[in-house]
Amino acid sequence: MANSGVDANNPPPLFQPGDAVQVRVAFPVGHCRTPFYFRGVPGTIERHCGAFPNPEELAYGRSGLPPIHLYRVRARQKDVWPDYPGSPLDTIEVEIYEHWLEPLHNTG
């Protein structure tokens, strides 16, 4: 049920490939699709995957509407796991819904 995300019921995506973002740190009660280990992690939008019904709402038998934009976010493994023994260039990609993302503003 993907769509372009541009219609009267669904605004255009907030983020574009290359945008710096950070995954929100939140601990909602109930079903949550955002991995715990990825919360608070800075990353870059790798791609916009489309807009889909909110799985956190679908889990409770609700419609999940309006659709929410889904993105693939790329982060350095060292930013996810500080003790990661591999190359500092190694990355991980996770698909994260828009309501879990915040713009990351570099301060210097």
Residue 23's CB is within 10 A of a number of other CB atoms, namely: 23
Q: Tell how far CA 26 is from the center of its chain.
A: 13
Instruction: With 0.95 as the threshold, say if the pTM is over it.
Output: no
Residue 68 has pLDDT above 60, yes or no: yes
**Least reliable range by pLDDT among 2-6, 11-15, 39-43, 94-98:** 2-6
Judge contact between 31 and 56, C-beta under 8 A. Answer: yes
Q: Tell me: the pLDDT tens digits for 19-57? A: 999 999 988 877 788 999 999 999 999 999 999 999 999
Domains defined along the chain, listed by start: 21-103 (2.30.30.50)
Which pLDDT band, with edges at 50, 70 and 90, does 7 fall under? low
